[in-house]
Amino acid sequence: MIVAITKRPGEHEVLELKELLGNRGIVENVVVRGDGCSVLSVTGGESLVQTLESSPLVSRVMTITGPWGMVAKEHASDVAPMNAVPGCSFGGTQFSVLAGPCSVEGHQQLLSVAQSVKESGAVGLRGGAFKPRTSPYAFQGLGHQGLEHLAAVRQQTGLSVVTEVMSAGEVERVAAAADMLQIGSRNVQNYRLLEAVGRCDTPVLLKRGMMSTIDEFLGSAEYIYARGNENIVLCERGIRSFEPRLRNTLDLGAVALLKRLTHLPVIVDPSHGTGLSELVAPLAKAALAMGADGLMLEVHSRPEIAKSDGRQSLSVSEFATLMTELAPLAQVLGRTLGSPMTAGHSVSGG
């Protein structure tokens, strides 16, 4: 059972709740503290639900049967579209597309791609400043210089920025340059990192681990949610399977299942889900058809010379074609394909 507390409690308030539970013989409890809220997790105590709900300190009490509960659809306090990212709406009738290069390679490269994807209808810019790579000799990203390029291009284009954060110690610095923090597949069970982004106000894009089950994936989302950050978007990006012809196997069935299990928005990354640019368009359309809330696509001005993931990246012209093809499909399905919007930053020429 989870007891959601209306504010960050003081020690005496926690002791009062613990004493109330202890007097009823319930001593197994864990307090999870966040900046936005705190929760008390207890084993048993269902007979105390009414008593707990009457406390001015408690906002709600939830009975859960698995490792996650606050992100479950039945426990949603608000299922309205998530609008915490400037210029982007996830959920409801909106279908939002985030696009950009796998890696930030330089200011002009990033600006050129950003301007192109915005003209085609993308509402957010993706780009990696820090790149976790299988080989230690592969391009690892520009690091802090990449963050500076992202912040500058955000200022110039008005597009919201999503980029990956790889360590708890970097959260604050990355959040200063981004509107959304990405937790990549390799870090989906880095619990200290999940707790760190849970304690900040910046929305989170949580990618499914390449070998994560649905319950493990939602458990990772619960780590973030329990720390107070409720602005989470889930991303299906393919799982590892026995099939060698594809980089990953894009699990579109998981999208349909997640939409039934959780109130969190769900988007799809068909670039990583296949590893082949020629398969991105049909699977992007399939994701829209089956109820996903958006897409995350890799786009490069010259994929053949990209420093990372060029094989799965669309060219800017291919992206423009795909967006044109998605628009009538979205209309038939009662969805609105997101149009470029200012991200709440001043927009200058250049």
Mean pLDDT taken over the chain: 87
**Choice between 58 and 88, residue whose per-residue pLDDT is larger:** 88
Band of the pLDDT at 341, cuts 50, 70, 90?
Answer: very low
Burial 114-140 (b: 16+ CB within 10 A, else e): bbbbbebbbbbbbbbbbbeeeeeeeeb
At 76-100, the pLDDT tens digits run 655 567 787 888 889 889 999 999 9
Backbone φ and ψ for 59, nearest 5 degrees, come out as -90, -40
Q: Determine the average pLDDT of the residues in 179-201.
A: 95
Residue 345: what pLDDT? 41
* Entry field: residues in the chain: 350
Domains and CATH numbers, the chain: 2-63 (3.30.70), 94-337 (3.20.20.70)
Q: Determine the average pLDDT of the residues in 21-32.
A: 66
Q: Determine the average pLDDT of the residues in 9-23.
A: 70
Q: pTM for the full model?
A: 0.86
Residue 140: what pLDDT? 82
At 223-253, the pLDDT tens digits run 999 888 999 999 999 999 999 999 999 999 9
**Choice between 60 and 32, residue whose per-residue pLDDT is larger:** 60
At 249-278, the pLDDT tens digits run 999 999 999 999 999 999 999 999 999 999
**Rounded distance between C-alpha atoms, residue 12 and residue 4, angstroms:** 17
CB 310 within 8 A of CB 300: yes
Alpha helices in 121-181 (DSSP H): 144-157, 171-177
**Choice between 121 and 54, residue whose per-residue pLDDT is larger:** 121
Residue 47: what pLDDT? 67
Percent of the chain with pLDDT over 90: 66
Classify residue 235 by burial, with Cβ atoms within 10 Å: 0-12, 13-18, 19+: buried
Percent of the chain with pLDDT over 70: 84
